[in-house]
Each structure stands twice: as C-alpha cells, then as structure tokens.
C-alpha cells in the first residue's frame, strides 16, 4: 500500500500509461483475492493453519519487488497484472488464516479490543508508510523507492511465528486430558490400596 502512489506516478507519468490501462493493470488481478480467499480454508484444513500461514506469508512478501521493473507498453501491463495477481492471491490466502490464528489465540473477553486495535494500527501504519515512501520517492525517484519497499518486503516472512502454538481451546483440552489421566491413576492407586 505504501508504494501505490509511487506506482501510479510511475505508470501514469513517466511511462505514459492511460488511466484505463492503469485501472486494468490493478483491477484484473483482484480476481486473485477471491480465489485466494476461497482456497484459504481448504488449504488450512489439508496442510494445517501454521504451515499455510508461513507459506502464504512468505509468498506475500515476494511479489512487490517486481513492480520496480515496470516498463512501457503491453509488457509493462502484463508484468503489473502478473505481480499483482500473485500478490493479491497470496494475501487472499494469508489474511483469513492470520485472522483466524489471531482470534483463536485471543481470550473471548478481549476479542473486540484486539479487533479494534488491529484495525486502528493497520490504518495508521498504512498512512505512515505511504507518507514515508512519498518522501523517499521524492528523494530517490519512484522506481528506486518501489525497489526499496520490495526488498524490505522480502524480509517480512521473518516476522511470522516459527512455532505452531496450540490455541487456547486446544490447550484447555490437553490440560483436562492430563488432569483426567492423573485422576484415573489416583483412583486406581486408591482402589489397589483398599483391596490390600
């Protein structure tokens, strides 16, 4: 999101694309978001939530650097469509899985606060990064600023959780099972002692 104004400046200004070409380049790949969001649940069921979170999160960070190589003409539009399709599809898988992951690890009495904080911090971060990348683009030029953002995005998979933490309901079930096993052992010991 931080580079969206820079990409618009690059495509509509320096590269001379028309507004309809720009709209096509960014509108057509939105189908990837629909496909990705439809695939999120089956993928999480088949491969596990944590694995899908890691893979889709890593894929999500790989695409943006491609926008630094936009050229003029049809090849440029095809490049933008391919990059955006991959990015939006990866995000379409990642976001529902991340939302589920966060909510499963949040106490029920804190869900509203977590969702509010998530929304506020996301919007604030987008605004701050857009401003920062606008300043960076005015110093380095749009293409260089887009490339820097793309390279930084390659590091974002390092921020994903490496271990698969059990969700609170699963932790509670495991605790109850362990307590039940302990109680069963104690009852067996009591029964054996009483028969002696």
Give residue 160's region: left, alpha or beta (phi > 0; psi -120 to 50). beta
> Does the structure show a pLDDT above 90 at 103?
no
Task: Give the integer Cα–Cα distance in Å for 194 and 67.
Answer: 77
The pLDDT of residue 192: 41
> From residue 83, how far is each of 77, 109, 184, 193 by CA, in Å?
10, 40, 58, 71
pTM for the model stands at: 0.76
26 and 118, same structural domain?
yes
What pLDDT digit, counting tens, does each position of 156-169 carry? 888 887 776 655 55
The pLDDT of residue 159: 84
The pLDDT of residue 63: 93
Q: What length does the chain have?
A: 196
Q: What is the mean pLDDT of the chain?
A: 85
Q: What is the CATH number of the domain that holds 115?
A: 1.20.1250.20
171 and 155, same structural domain?
no
Q: State the burial class of residue 185 (Cβ atoms within 10 Å of its Cβ: 0-12, 13-18, 19+).
A: exposed
Task: Give the integer Cα–Cα distance in Å for 45 and 94.
Answer: 14
Number of domains in the chain: 2
Confidence of residue 193 (pLDDT cuts 50, 70, 90): very low
> Does the structure show a pLDDT above 70 at 108?
yes
139 and 68, same structural domain?
yes
Would you list the DSSP string of 82-142?
A: HHHHHHHHHHHHHHHHHHHHHHHTS-GGGHHHHHHHHHHHHHHHHHHHHHHHHHHHHHH-H
Q: How many helices (H) and strands (E) does the chain have?
A: 8, 0
What pLDDT digit, counting tens, does each position of 31-70 carry? 999 999 999 999 999 999 989 999 999 999 999 999 999 9
For residues 84-103, one letter each, b for 16 or more C-beta atoms within 10 angstroms of the residue's C-beta and e for the rest, the string is bbbbbbbbbbbbbbbebbee
For residues 139-160, one letter each, b for 16 or more C-beta atoms within 10 angstroms of the residue's C-beta and e for the rest, the string is eeebbebbbbbbeebeeebeeb
Task: Give the integer Cα–Cα distance in Å for 2 and 25.
Answer: 18
25 and 56, same structural domain?
yes
The pLDDT of residue 104: 87
Domain that holds residue 173: 166-196
pLDDT > 90: what percent of the chain?
Answer: 65
86 and 132, same structural domain?
yes
What pLDDT digit, counting tens, does each position of 123-165 carry? 999 999 999 999 999 999 999 999 999 999 999 888 887 776 6
44 and 69, same structural domain?
yes
Task: Give the integer Cα–Cα distance in Å for 36 and 30.
Answer: 10
> Does the structure show a pLDDT above 80 at 92?
yes
Q: Which two tokens stand for residue 149?
A: 């953002």
Taken in order 58, 130, 32, 36, the sign of the CA dihedral is: positive
159 and 116, same structural domain?
yes
């Amino acid at each position: 999101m931080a580079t969206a104004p820079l990409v618009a400046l690059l495509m509509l200004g320096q590269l001379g694309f028309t507004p309809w070409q720009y709209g096509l380049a960014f509108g057509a790949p939105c189908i990837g978001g629909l496909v990705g969001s439809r695939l999120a649940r089956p993928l999480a069921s088949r491969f596990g939530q944590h694995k899908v979170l890691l893979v889709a999160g890593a894929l999500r960070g790989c695409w943006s650097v491609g926008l630094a190589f936009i050229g003029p003409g049809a090849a440029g539009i095809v490049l933008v469509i391919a990059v955006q399709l991959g990015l939006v599809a990866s995000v379409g898988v990642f976001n529902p899985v991340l939302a589920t992951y966060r909510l499963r690890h949040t106490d029920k009495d804190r869900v509203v606060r977590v969702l509010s904080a998530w929304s506020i911090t996301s919007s604030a971060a987008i605004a701050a990064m857009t401003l920062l990348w606008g300043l960076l683009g005015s110093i380095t030029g749009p293409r260089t600023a887009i490339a820097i953002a793309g390279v930084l995005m390659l590091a974002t998979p390092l921020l994903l959780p490496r271990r698969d933490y059990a969700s609170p309901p699963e932790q509670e079930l495991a605790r109850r099972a362990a307590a039940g096993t302990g109680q069963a052992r104690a009852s067996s010991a009591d029964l054996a002692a009483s028969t002696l």
